[in-house]
Amino acid sequence: MASLKLPEVVPSPTQDSERLRKAFQGFGTDERALILVLGHRNAQQRKEIAETYKQLYDESLIDRLHSELSGDFRNAIILWTYDPPERHARLANSALKAKKKGIKQLQVLVEITCASTPNHLVAVRQAYCSLFDSSLEEDIIANVAAPLRKLLVSLVSSYRYDKVAVNLEVAKSEASQLHEAINNKKLDDDHVVWTLSTRNLFQLRETFACYNNLYGNTLEQGIKSCGNGDLEALLQLVILCIDSPEKHFAKVIRDSIVGLGTDEDSLSRAIVTRAEVDLLKVRFEYYNMFKTNLDDDVTGDTSGDYKDFLMTLLGR
């Protein structure tokens, strides 16, 4: 359910590189040409363009974009041009190195681990090591306080089975164990962490459903009853990203555009990272949740090349 639209006949990487080079030359930059090329190519095609551009002109496409552009448009199109594992590795590093590391900053780690495929998570960890000379786990341990550290290290270290495999008896048993941990207000219990970080997503969704059926409220509601701390908030994010990632990203987009000012970083991250995954589902959930059109809200809260680029990724 990706929103990205590709041309029926895709030009060669050489043709695209030449068109990008032309957009950079002369008086000013032809931003529309950049959007027309990069905004209508998938991850593999963008990777080939970047490699070809480097071979043809002996310069990094990312570096050239950085020098030619500015502001939110520059940040968004560079984020889009990165290979997806490198993109998420850089987002994770920025979150871990931020002076303030609240739930808003750390939620990107939850998105990587709970709203991505196991193979993508492995690729992100490899990219992280190559880029920053340390592992993602090391930097979480060095930069995140307990008890969030324990949950996040477990999440990034796991490799979930990615096929449909559900055991109803296991789901009932683990729903019961989660309920016991909530009653005892021990949300950092080893079993809670182990269950949420290692079980496959289909099994966990069955466990969440069993919890609701057995105890008359959702697992999220149970966790909320334990308090309003960072661990409770992080666990709620984990559950939402596992159970319905499209609802999570709809909420990220909504939160980024309501209130005073726009959180362009969050808005760009949500649209850029999901354009090739499930952005059409995100749009559908956005309307169901907020009774307003996502495209109209994004258009009303952005402007210029930045708006045009986001709308291109949204398929408009």
Binding residues for Ca(2+): 24, 26, 28, 68, 257, 261, 301-302
CA distance 207 to 19: 51
Task: Retrieve residue 8's tokens.
Answer: 């029926």
CA distance 33 to 37: 6
Show the DSSP H helices in the chain as ranges. 13-24, 31-38, 43-57, 61-68, 71-81, 84-97, 103-114, 118-132, 136-143, 148-157, 168-183, 190-198, 201-215, 219-224, 230-243, 245-257, 264-274, 279-290, 294-301, 304-313
Task: Retrieve residue 137's tokens.
Answer: 């786990």
CA distance 293 to 145: 38
The Cβ-side half-sphere exposure at 127, using a 13 Å CA radius, reads: 19
Q: Which residues are annotated as a binding site?
A: 24, 26, 28, 68, 257, 261, 301-302
Task: Retrieve residue 75's tokens.
Answer: 């940040």
